[in-house]
Amino acid sequence: MTTATYTTGTIIEPIPVGQIVPWAIFAGLLAMIALYFISTEEGAMQIVPGMEVHEFVHDGRHLLGFPCH
């Protein structure tokens, strides 16, 4: 027969804020870039010429409620 053992005394240490901040900034920057391409990359604010980016994010644009037609 197998017996399960439960050990107490495992200490979980918190992650220091100094290690979280760079990753939070990186994730925020990626989110803002994604939001730009989904919401604004079309027409007068266009960085990439053509409609390739618009067509690539078209369904995500509708899913998030941004008009594009």
pLDDT above 80 for 2: no
Q: Is residue 4 one of the residues assigned to a domain?
A: no
Question: What secondary structure does DSSP assign to the chain, as a single string?
Answer: -----------PPPPPHHHHHHHHHHHHHHHHHHHHHHHT-SGGG-SSSSSHHHHHTHHHHHHTT----
pTM above 0.75, yes or no: no
Q: What is the pLDDT of residue 19?
A: 93
Q: How many domains does the chain have?
A: 1
Q: Evaluate whether residue 67 is within a structural domain.
A: yes
Q: Which domain holds residue 67?
A: 39-69
Q: Distance between alpha carbon 32 and the CA centroid of its chain, in Å?
A: 8
Domain membership flag for residue 24: no
Residue 41, pLDDT > 80, answer no
- Tell me whether residue 64 is in a domain: yes
The rounded mean pLDDT for the chain is 82
> Residues 3-22: pLDDT tens digits?
777 777 778 888 899 999 99
Q: What percent of the chain has pLDDT over 70?
A: 88
Q: 48 lies in a domain?
A: yes
Residue 7 included in any domain: no
Tell me what the mean pLDDT of segment 27-47 comes to. 82
Residue 69 in any domain: the answer is: yes
